[in-house]
Amino acid sequence: MPDVEVGQVTAFFARPVVAGVDLTGALKVGDKIHIKGHTTDVELVVESIQVNNIPVKEAGAGQSIGIKVTDRVRPGDHVYKVVD
């Protein structure tokens, strides 16, 4: 089953290592995601999601969230939920 696109990276912050993402689909803590772009290829399990600096367990389409990432990502990168 193909991965499902759930959003796009809008910002990257080096400290803490966090990506800003505009969601087009639902995402929750524990989901495995794949962030892909021209020079980006990162897979990770979502350990925390924040909306307006407040931790939440899940977020949906239309929300702007912050998630911790393991490596540098870039604005415009696509975020996919890995479907097993």
Could you report the per-residue pLDDT of 10-44, keeping only the tens digit for each? 999 999 999 999 999 999 999 999 999 999 999 99
| CATH number, position 76 | 2.40.30.10
* Confidence (pLDDT) at 1: 66
CA distances 41 to 69, 71, 72, 75, Å, are 12, 9, 9, 13
pTM above 0.75, yes or no: yes
Give the number of domains in the chain.
Answer: 1
Range of the domain at 46: 4-81
Measure the CA–CA gap between 76 and 57, rounded to whole angstroms. 24
Query: Mean pLDDT score of the chain, rounded to an integer?
Result: 96
